[in-house]
Every structure is written in structure tokens, then in C-alpha cells.
Structure 1
Amino acid sequence: MAWEQVQKALKDHLGDSIYNLWIDPLECVSYRADEVRLACPDRFYRAHLDRNHLATVQQIVTELSGNDCKVILCDKETAILPAAQPKGQLRLPHIPERKSVVRALHPRYTFDAFMLGESNLLAQSACKSMINGDDTVGSCLYINSSTGLGKSHLTHAVAHALLADSPQTRLRYVTAQQFASEMVRSIQSRSMDTFKSVYHDHCDFLLVEDIHSLQGKKKTQEEMNELLDALIKSGKRVILTANNAPRDLKGIDNEFRSRMGAGLVTTIQAPDLATRYRIVEHKAVQSGLNLEEDVISYISQQIQGDVRRIESALLSLSAKATLAGGAVEMDMVRDVVAEIVGLSTNLTTTLIGEIISREFNVSYKDLQSRSRKKVISFPRQVAMYLGRKHTEESLGEIGKVFNRNHATVLHAVKVVSELCRCDTSVRRQMEILDRKMAEM
């Protein structure tokens, strides 16, 4: 941010007469991230400005800088000149001064640390496309998911990437609640022109989290809708996150709903078993835990959905293992998992399908497909067989998991049962899988 930007905002806010008399004569002698030093013509001028207009100057400097940048008045005769600038690349006059305003970023929420799977591949690819300016996604990306599935991780990763690789990009990263609070303060202080200027004129990339928190806030929705329209039309990029798709948000104006859904709308689903396994493995290393494969498998099978519960389990496991002398026992793991998700998870055909997809190295999506290839059809039949044996679900319910009818499930049970009777290798394989199911 430059002093010229503050001057323009003050002129809009105070009007020409007050600006020309009390602001224009000021000389900016020092402008740092935490302090602005302004030289006044004399001490009488300084006293009047301090009494009548300093609060307004301070407010606008704070809003434009995005931090607690203190404004200090001094007399021109005693003004302290700014220290020599460090050597480095100079900014060309036509290049906007970099000033990004972001939330505190989690150091581990980067693209490298994001565990990819079928459930989140599209969202991650879309975020990278937005950073690269790829027109495939468009100017607006809307990501929705339940809590703890990676929305914040992706938005933090976008911010990390922009700040590291495109420092000239003016990024503004806020929650919808922060945006609403800023707007309310601007209305109360009669500085909406400055507020609009910050987002409309000094923003190249906008990240807004938890857009669902604007439900019922009609005025804020109108302002956000106007902002999105202006940014998108000018080729700027926007990423929004929420807990539901635009069409499912309650208390949202239809025009605003339409604007949010104008670009790519993508959903992050709960991670499948294979992705959860990699998440547990990765986060265990980060926590300094050396876990055996059976422990990683157990945690990934039992803790589904919210990834934060996996983090909580590993944190608790690390603490208990330290107190126990560093050893991680299976009984300790079961106790920790029970504290997080309750008693052992009831086995379902869906969970069995995820386990089988990992055991046979095929995707869960393939098991639900129409493919009749043996490398897919046999694991599907095994999953149906185990679903019938280890759950109370009906043939129809089991078939629905794999997009099949009850007759197909009955046929799968007969095929696997016959193979167990006449093929020793298949029988032993089923015995191993039966033990795994019984341990859950």
C-alpha cells in the first residue's frame, strides 16, 4: 500500500475542501508495515489535525494496510527521515504495490501435504488451475463439504502458493464473518467508499471461507454479490467455501446464489479407505509415531469422515505412548479409537467394500461400476459375500451399495461359497478376511 492510496481514500471520505486544507499539505516521511510517520507544516497545524482528523486517517490506514499500522504526526522541522531502503528489486511505477491481507496460515496446510483421493481430486486440481490462471475452471470456484474434509487445507494451500510464487498478486483471504464485520464497521464510521475500494480496486485474488455464515444477512449478501460481479467481470479470481452447495443454502438471496454458482461448483466427499490409510500414515510420521501396518489399517477403518478426528486420535496415541515408554500396543490403539468414535464401529457393507477395494488394489468406484472384468467382478463378489455374512443388511441393501439387485448378490454369495469349497487358496483368503471382519 502507498500513501497515495490513503490520500485518495481520505479525499473521497472527507471531501475536497477539508482534504485540500488539512490532508494535502501533509508529507509522508516514513511508511513501514507497522508505522506511518506524517510531517505537518507546523505545530499548530499538527495540534488541529490530531484533535479533528487523526482518528479518520488512522482508520483508513488500518483498513487499507490490513494490520495495526500506527499513524504518527510530527513537525516538518523535526521529522525523522526514513532509513535507507534495503537493496533489492525495485517496483516499476505501473506495477501495483504488493499488499496481501490473509488470515494466519497453518504452516502444514500446503499442496504437498494434501492427501489426494477420488473424493477431493477435482477440488485440488481446480485450486491449482485458479492459481495458474487456467481458463478451464473460470474466474470463480465454489468448494463445499462437511467439516474436516479439507476445505481449509486447500484454501491455505492456495494462499501459501500465491504468496510464495506470485508475490505481486494482491490476495485478500477472509472468512465471510470477517467480511461482514468489516462492512458493519465501515457503515458505522461512514467509510463504505474506502471499504469498497479495498476489495474492488486493490484485490486480484479473493478467498472467502464459510460463505454459509451469511445466511439471513441480506445487506452483506448484496455487498458480496456486487463484489463478486465486479471481480469476475474484471478477470480477477475468486474462491468461496461453504458447508453446502449454493442450491442447498438457506436464507440466501437468489441472485447471490446464482452468482456463487456461476463458475465451477465442486464437492469434497469423505475420503475413502485408501485415502484415509495414507492420511493416517502421513500424519503419524508428522507426530513422530512409528506405527505398524495393522495399526494404520485399524485406525483408517474405524475413523471415517472428519479428518480432524484422525489427528485427534494420533495426538492422543502419541501422548499415551510417551507415558507408557514409547510402545504402541494394539489395546492402546483400540482404547484411543473408542474415545474418539465410541465403541467399535458397526460393520456395514459400505465399509466392507472399502476394505476389499484396498485388499484387492481396485478402487471403490470400480466395485460400483458395470465392469465385468474378473479383476473387478471377483472382488465385488467377495464384498457381497462378506456383506451377507457379517452384516444384518438384506440382499437388496447389499446390492444397492454396488449398484446391483438382490439376485446379483445371491449369485455372488453362491459363487464365492462354491470357490471356498473347492479352491484352497480362495478358502484361505476368505479365512483371513473373515478374521479381519471379526476384529472390527
Structure 2
Amino acid sequence: MSLPPVEMCLSRCCLVMSSSLPQAMLPMQEIWNAALLELKTKVNAHNFKTWFEKLRLRECSDETIVLGVDDPFVQVWINDNYMDLIEEAVAHAAGQPLKIEIVESGQDEPIEVENIDLDAEPMAARSARLDGEHGQAALFDFGIIEPPSAADLSELVSAAGMNPRYTFDEFVVGPSNQFTHAACQAVASGSGQTYNPLFIFGGVGLGKTHLLQAIGVEMLRRDPRTRVRYLSAEVFMNELIGSLRQKTMAEFRNQFRNDCDLLLIDDIQFIGGKDSTQEEFFHTFNALYQSGKQIVMTSDKTPQELPGIEERLASRFAWGLIADVQAPEIETRVAILEKKAEESQIELSKEVVLLLATAIRSNVRELEGTLVRMVAQAKLMNVPLNTDLARQLLKRMNIQHERSLGVEQIIRMVASHFDIKPSDIKGSRRTRAISEPRQMAMYLSRKHTGESYPELGRKFGGKDHTTVLTAFRKIEDLVEMGNNEFATAIAELEALLLR
């Protein structure tokens, strides 16, 4: 027995106005549940829980299904990144294309739809249940690829030169990295096809390598046949030099241009000034891009800011999506420490966690490493790691930034130093006597508090985050170039702030 025509299902569905679900609604219920089942096979568990479990069936017409979410950010993200996937799954389930609309629905009551336990029901049972209920072939072809076992996945990941622990689930997400984390997930799930290349930039120890490898790990988990190449720019250069010496350039080019579905390059800034390496990478980039293969790179600066990089390469790096990883806010630093402690089965008091999170603001790697060293010291001394011992150990490690600096404190200090008012710094006047102290205050706030650019923008009178970002980079460049006026002013202000 075949399903009723989808037009009939939809028109009958629209007659249902109460929260109870009459038998007439069952066909639409089956279509949406079947679509969910297909989506479950096409994205990882974290993505499904984050984006698709939030969707609720709201209403329907002859040609449209309306799905609601409570969060406007989720609405925008699904519309931008997963609409094609949802439309395809619904079309498979319904037997014909339908228009999908994602709306912000607030807390209104959705149409009640029976939920299927997607985790508890094996795929074979799902297919058999749909077959049995409808007396026909399954509503859609799942196209399942047998997932690798944990051991096999670990072996595949290691063979690709990656760390099996660098997964999305192990990455602590906060405001400072939320956008980049989501972009990496979109690339790994295949829904971010326009993000090619994906260019991730940020300071040292903020998780760029973790996110880069997480893309490769996830793609191998989804399809173990994926040909992933992960390496640093330095290794790429060394392999190129070795191939030139051994006259094996054909093999070198083949492994990167033909035998590669995903190229992950760490620290691309290191090819700056290396003309032969840039020439080879230029042609490798073009070959992969034209073949529709995914390229992801990390760097410490944006493409336009990379020293010694040819313009033709810098422009290609910016073809796709550029995403930055910022220094974590204190809440994120606390979450990172707690996760690290949980993984290592370490008992830490809230006081010690806050002390560490306050002392180390800008480097996640240093944050985790300091925790490991302190725990090891406490074990060797056979004493508990309390706040007193933590302070002593921090002092021995020359980590003495225990004094917590706030944005308001920095604004007041800078205003006093330049004999202006804090309200001037937060205001919009652009005279040099005010704009330069304002930029210095933004630079110091970013450097010494670790607040995100959007949060700093709000604290500086509701300014756009790009204003803060531009100010930070301007002062940073002036100081690094040895501009006496600005370098001296920043040194004097830091002495006042940290005394």
C-alpha cells in the first residue's frame, strides 16, 4: 500500500488547529520524522543536537512546511548553512520538493508531532519500521556509509598526521570562538561548501590547530574514504625541498593535487618570503579549488596582513570565509580549566579555578599547561592544591598577573593620564587629543582583559567591534615598529596599570 499523495497529506494537515493530533496529521508526522532520520545520518551527533533538534513543525500548506526555532541565531544559522540539506531530506521523505521556511517562533505551542528516539533506534530497525508501516520500500535511500570503529578512526586520524583527541566535542566553545567553531563544523559536515577556503586566524595557543584538525577528524568519522592531508606550512616546504632534491616532484604534486579531498595547512604564514614554496602552493591551491576540494588554513594574521605573501595568494586566501579565534573571556577560561580537570580526574576548587583563569588571560595552551604543572607539583609535595599553594606556584612560574584589570579601570587610568574625561573616551568625538587615547585604551583593554571585541565595543560606548579591532591593530603595529610616541605612552600606561 502506497502513501497518500503528499498534497492530500498537507491539505489535511492544515486543518489541524488544536494541540491534539488527529489521525489526519499522521502522514505529515511521518514525512517530518523521516526527514529527521535522514538528517541524523548526514551530520554528526553534536551538529544534530545543536541545530536540528531545535526545529519544531509549526504549520504547512500545499507547497510549504514551516519550522520554528526559539533562538534567532539558530534561525539565521540554519537558513544560511543547512537549508539545502533540510530541503533535500524533506523532498526524499515526501516524494516531491517542498518549500521550507525557518521562523523564530518564540515560546508558542508548536503542532504536536510524535518524537522518535533517534539514538535508541538502529538504522536497520528504522528502515524496517518505515517499510512495515507503509507496506513499501523505505521513504528514502539512506545511502549509509559504514562508520569506522573508534579504533579504526583513531588509526585513520593518526595516519593523516592528526591528534584523535582534537575533536569538536573536546573543544570548549565561548563567545570568542563561537563563530569560527560553527564555521568549522559547517565545513566538516559538507554544508559549508561556500567556505572554501576557510581561513582561520588568531594568536598563539587559542585553539586554531584544534579546530583545524577537528575538521579532518570529523570528515573521516563521517566517511573514512576521505583523503585528508594535514601538515604545517613548514612541513609542506620541507617536503617540497626534499622532492626537488630527489627529483620526485611528480609524486609530491600528485599527493596534494590529485590524492587529496581535504587539505589542512597549519601556520600558513611561514611560507612568507619563500618564493619557490609560494609558487608550488599557488598551483596546488588552484588545482584543489578548481576540483571542488576543500582547503582550510590557519595563520596568526589575516591574509592581507601576512608579511612576504604574494598578492595573488593573499587574494585567494580571502576567497572563502575568514574567521578569527580571539582570546577567551574569563567564563570560557573557567570552562576550559574545568573540562581539563574533569578529563584528568583532578579535583579543583572554584577558588583555584578562578585564580588561574584570572592569572592567564590570552593563551589557552599556557592555561592548560600551567594547570598540569601545578597539579604535578602538588602531587610531588603530597599536599592539596589550594589557593595559597596555587599563588606560590604561580609566583615561581613568573606568572604574577593576579591583579584583575577591568575595562572601566583602564578607561579611567588612560583618561587621567591624558587629562580628559572617561566620557570622552566612550564618546564619539574624533579629535586627535581624544581619539588616540581612546585607541590606546582599547588596545590595553584587549591586551590585559581578554574581553572579546564585541564586548569591548559595548563597554566603549556601544561602538562596533571592528572599531576596537582596528584600534588594537593600529596601536600594536605602531608599538612593534618602534614609534617612540606611542611605544612610550603604552609603556607608561602599563606601568601605571600593573604596579
Alpha-carbon separation, structure 1, partners of 2:377 and 2:365: 18
CA distance in 2, matches of 1:329, 1:129: 42
Query: Which residue does 1:424 correspond to in 2?
Result: none
Counterpart of 1:155, as a letter, is: L
Inter-partner Cα distance in structure 2 for 1:171 and 1:388: 48
SS at match of 1:271: coil
How far did residue 388 of structure 1 move?
8.0
Q: Which residue of 1 aligns with 2:324?
A: 267
Equivalent residues of 1:176, 1:214 under 8 A apart: yes
Say whether the 8 Å CA contact 2:185–2:215 is kept in structure 1.
yes
2:275 is aligned to 218
Alignment of 1:196-345 (within 5 A): 196-345=253-402
CA separation of 1:255/1:224 partners in 2, compared to 1, >3 Å: closer, same or farther? same
One-letter amino acid of the structure 2 residue matched with residue 250 of structure 1: P
Give the letter aligned to residue 173 of structure 2: L
Change (3 A) 1:392 1:253: closer
Deviation for aligned residue 1:271: 0.4
SS at match of 2:250: helix
**Deviation digits for residues 152-178 of structure 1 (CA, Å, limit 9, x no counterpart):** 111221222122221111111111111
Amino acid at match of 2:345: G
1:178 to 231, 235, 240: 235
For residues 335 and 100 of structure 1, what CA distance do their matches in structure 2 show?
A: 40
Q: CA deviation at 1:398?
A: 7.2
- Structure 1 residue identity aligned to 2:276: K
Helix, strand or coil at the partner of 2:297:
strand
Count of aligned pairs: 276
- Secondary structure at the counterpart of residue 256 of structure 1: helix
CA–CA distance in structure 1, aligned partners of residues 158 and 287 of structure 2: 19
- Quote how far apart the aligned CAs of 1:346 are: 4.4
TM-score of the superposition, structure 2-length normalised?
Answer: 0.51
Asked whether the equivalents of residues 206 and 326 of structure 2 are also in contact (C-alpha less than 8 Å), the reply is: yes
Contact 2:160–2:228 (CA under 8 A) maintained in structure 1 = no
- Report sequence identity in percent: 30
Distance in structure 2 (CA, Å) of the matches to 1:227 and 1:178: 15
User: C-alpha offsets along residues 182-212 of structure 1, whole Å, 9 cap, x if unaligned?
Assistant: 1122222222222212211111111011111
- In structure 1, give the amino acid aligned to 2:176: S
Check the 8 A contact 1:110/1:154 in 2, yes or no: yes
Instruction: Give the TM-score normalised by structure 1.
Output: 0.58
Contact 2:233 2:268 in 1 (8 A): yes
SS at match of 2:296: strand
In the alignment, is the contact (CA less than 8 A) between 2:200 and 2:325 conserved in 1?
A: yes
Inter-partner Cα distance in structure 2 for 1:142 and 1:160: 18
Q: Does 1:133 align with 2:195?
A: no
Is the 8 Å Cα contact of residues 213 and 264 (structure 2) preserved in structure 1? Answer: no
**Residue number in structure 1 paired with 2:17:** none
Secondary structure (helix, strand or coil) at the match of 1:238 reads strand
* Counterpart contact for 1:316–1:336, Cα < 8 Å: no
Cα offset, 1:304, TM superposition: 0.5
Segment of structure 1 superposing worse, 285-294 or 149-158: 285-294
1:145 aligns with 2:145: no
Which residue of the partner structure matches residue 165 of structure 1? 222
Shift in alpha-carbon separation, 1:339–1:123, aligned structure 2, 3 A: farther
Distance 1:206 1:302 in 2: 37
Rg (Cα) greater in structure: 1
- The aligned counterpart of 1:353 is none
Q: RMSD across aligned C-alpha pairs, in angstroms?
A: 2.8
Mapped partners of 2:284, 2:319: distance in 1:
14
Aligned partners of 1:303 and 1:337 also within 8 Å: no
1:234 alignment partner AA: S
Q: 2: CA distance between counterparts of 1:263 and 1:207? A: 15
Q: Secondary structure at the match of 1:250?
A: coil
Alpha-carbon distance in 2 for matches of 1:309, 1:202:
37
